[in-house]
Amino acid sequence: MAVQKHDVTASGSPDRLLALSDGIYAIAMTLLVLDVKVPEGLDEKAFRDAMGNLGPQVAAYGLSFYVLAAFWRDHRRLFLLVRRLDTSLLRLTMASLGAVALLPFPTALLADYPDEPAAVSLYATVIVVIVALHLAIAAMLWRREHLQAEPISDTLGRAVLRDLAATIIVFGLSVPIAWLSPTAAQWTWLRLIPAKIISGRGLRSAMRSSSTP
């Protein structure tokens, strides 16, 4: 291992890509708050009404912050397995960051138009794109041993792909559902939280057993 580690030239180091990624995630997570607002200069009654109507804005903020936090964790876990970058890995990562940086737009749309099928299905579509790109990164990494920080066992490889595929299926199914009932589509997403906790447990135990020599 030590020998392998030392022959990584600086040109392949993922360090600056991780710094850029952490920056983009941090900004996307913080920009979400710009859509939670109450207009200036309202009288007392209008102010109370505006406060009472903040529900969808705050819910959209909470949902997107939670989603981005979960994606950041996936990103962190994936890159724990990366010893060096190649061009395809850099491109896939950049594409995933482009979708992450876009998320504040469908979030604002969802907060303002929670009953519009187009808003709900666009939100789900952007999520599916991000997770599909994470899945592509994971699949490529599994096949290219010279990029791996340590050998990726078949158990771990399969656990990672299964975890990401589950999210794609839930959010992917919600896209057509949104055109029938935007509310039903949003309830589907909540199904993911317990699913993620269970699959997260499976994933962590696979990572632990893989790091045992």
Tell me: does residue 7 bind its own copies (CB under 8 A): no
Q: Residue 2 has which token pair?
A: 């030590």
Q: Residue 152 has which token pair?
A: 């990726």
The contact mask relative to its own copies for 40-79 (x = CB under 8 A, - = no) is xx--x--xx--x---------xx--xx--x--xx--xx--
Tell me: does residue 191 bind its own copies (CB under 8 A): no
Span of 27-35, 133-141, 157-165, 169-177 interacting with its own copies by CB under 8 A:
27-35
In three-state form (DSSP H/G/I as H, E/B as E, the rest C), the secondary structure along 168-210 is HHHHHHHHHHHHHCHHHHHHHHHCHHHHHHHHHHHHHHHHHHH
Q: At what angle do helices 55-80 and 104-112 cross, to 10 degrees?
A: 150
Tell me: does residue 10 bind its own copies (CB under 8 A): yes
Tell me: does residue 34 bind its own copies (CB under 8 A): yes
Q: Which amino acid is at 166?
A: A
Span of 12-20, 128-136, 160-168, 187-195 interacting with its own copies by CB under 8 A:
12-20
Spatial CA neighbour of 212 closest among 157, 143, 150: 150
Which of 1, 53, 55, 112 lies at the binding interface for its own copies (CB under 8 A)? 112
Residue that has been written with the tokens 């699949």 in this structure: 139
- What phi and psi, each to the nearest 5 degrees, are found at residue 118? -60, -40
Tell me: does residue 11 bind its own copies (CB under 8 A): yes
Tell me: does residue 166 bind its own copies (CB under 8 A): no
Angle at 14 between CA 9 and CA 19, to 5 degrees: 135
Q: Which residues of 37-49 are buried (b: 16+ CB within 10 A; e: fewer)?
A: eeeeeeeeeeeee
Kindly state the smallest distance separating residue 206's Cβ from its own copies, in Å: 12
Kindly state the smallest distance separating residue 164's Cβ from its own copies, in Å: 18
Instruction: Report d(CA 190, CA 39) in Å as an integer.
Output: 31
Which of 1, 4, 5, 23 lies at the binding interface for its own copies (CB under 8 A)? 23
Tell me: does residue 136 bind its own copies (CB under 8 A): no
Kindly state the smallest distance separating residue 112's Cβ from its own copies, in Å: 5
Contact present, 24 and 101 (Cβ < 8 Å)? yes
Binding site for its own copies (CB under 8 A): 9-11, 16-20, 22-34, 36-38, 40-41, 44, 47-48, 51, 61-62, 65-66, 69, 72-73, 76-77, 80, 87, 90, 94, 97-98, 101-102, 104-105, 108-109, 112-113, 116, 118, 149, 200, 204, 207, 211
